[in-house]
């Protein structure tokens, strides 16, 4: 890799990838940057520029063969093999995530679930046994899990995240509202905070009144 691909480009690839998968599921065989762009509200030029960072995947006059482009994106995103994931915190949200059947078909297998509560440890979510948070480091190391979804109460978020780093986790999807402070070269952080997203909306909704 000569110059690193801009992160903003990388952030759009999963969107292209999933839209192409939907098109394929609907029986479509080829598409164009124009069609994809209209579906996503993005300019055709942007899609072509983004893809051109990684190679030449299309054909003039025809556009893109969906199955081929999906395969290419799968490799680029390292989704040509599946990933094991740990869920930390088996409360309302952690349970919903662990029950959700939409991750596995996309290549994310929930392998480990942890909690502190003695009422939960040892019980099952589906066929997953809830493990003691004290076993976090050895279990994650042993299983070689690299990705965690953090669904503990806000007050515990930073401490648990620090443990995750010690356990060798490389990616954390943070569902708490705490902005985590972690070494940036070691862990890839992504924040999913519905309150921020709602406040982003209320800025505009309020204005229109």
Ligand X SMILES: NC(=O)c1ccc[n+]([C@@H]2O[C@H](COP(=O)([O-])OP(=O)(O)OC[C@H]3O[C@@H](n4cnc5c(N)ncnc54)[C@H](O)[C@@H]3O)[C@@H](O)[C@H]2O)c1
Among positions 36-65, residues that touch DNA (CB under 7 A) are 42-46, 48-49, 51-52, 56-64
Interaxial angle between packed helices 44-52 and 7-25, expressed in degrees from 0 to 180 and rounded to the nearest 10? 110
Dihedral-angle region of residue 173 (phi above 0 means left; psi in -120 to 50 means alpha; beta otherwise)? beta
Binding mask of the shown chain, residues 78 to 117, with x at each position contacting a copy of itself by CB under 8 A: xx---x-x------xx-xxx-xx-xx--x-x---------
Which tokens go with 85? 């994931």
Between 76 and 156, CB nearer to a copy of itself = 76
- Enter the DSSP assignment of 197: H
Residue whose C-beta lies closest to ligand X: 91
- Please give the Cα distance from 196 to 42 (Å, whole number): 23
Backbone angles phi, psi at 183, to 5 degrees: -65, 120
135 contacts: CB under 8 Å, gap ≥ 6: 114
**Interface with a copy of itself, residue 2, by CB under 8 A:** no
The number of beta carbons lying within 10 Å of the beta carbon of residue 55 is 9
Q: In angstroms, what is the minimal distance from the CB of 180 to ligand X?
A: 11
Strands 171-174 and 147-150: parallel
Which CB, 9 or 93, lies closer to ligand X?
93
Nearest to 51 by CA among 77, 28, 27: 77
One character per residue 25-44, x = contact with ligand X (rule: CB under 6 A):
--------------------
Which residue number, 55 or 61, has a Cβ lying nearer to a copy of itself?
55
133 sits near ligand X (criterion: CB under 6 A): yes
Per the structure block, which two tokens stand in for 120? 């939960």
**114 counts as binding ligand X under rule CB under 6 A:** yes
Cβ proximity to ligand X, 51 vs 133, nearer residue: 133
Looking at 11, 28, 67, 129, which residue binds a copy of itself (CB under 8 A)?
11
Calpha distance 163→175 (Å, rounded): 16
* 141 three-class SS: helix
Residues that bind a copy of itself (CB under 8 A): 1, 10-11, 13-15, 17-19, 22, 39-41, 76-79, 83, 85, 92-93, 95-97, 99-100, 102-103, 106, 108, 146-147, 149, 154, 170-171, 173, 177-179, 181, 184, 188, 190, 192-208
């Amino acid at each position: 890799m000569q110059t690193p691909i801009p992160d903003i480009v990388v952030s759009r690839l999963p969107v292209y990838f999933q839209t192409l998968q939907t098109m394929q599921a609907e029986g479509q065989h080829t598409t164009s940057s124009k069609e994809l762009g209209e579906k996503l509200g993005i300019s055709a030029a942007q899609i072509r520029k983004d893809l051109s960072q990684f190679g030449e995947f299309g054909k003039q006059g025809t556009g893109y063969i969906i199955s081929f482009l999906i395969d290419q994106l799968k490799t680029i995103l390292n989704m040509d093999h599946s990933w094991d994931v740990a869920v930390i915190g088996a409360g309302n949200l952690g349970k919903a995530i662990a029950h959700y059947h939409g991750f596995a078909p996309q290549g994310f297998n929930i392998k480990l679930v942890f909690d502190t509560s003695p009422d939960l440890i040892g019980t099952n979510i589906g066929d997953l046994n809830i493990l003691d948070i004290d076993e976090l480091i050895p279990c994650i190391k042993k299983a070689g899990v690299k990705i965690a979804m953090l669904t503990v109460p806000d007050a515990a978020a930073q401490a648990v995240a620090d443990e995750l780093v010690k356990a060798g986790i490389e990616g954390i999807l943070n569902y708490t509202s705490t902005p985590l402070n972690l070494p940036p070269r070691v862990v890839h952080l992504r924040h999913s905070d519905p309150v921020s997203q709602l406040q982003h909306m209320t800025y505009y909704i309020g204005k229109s009144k």
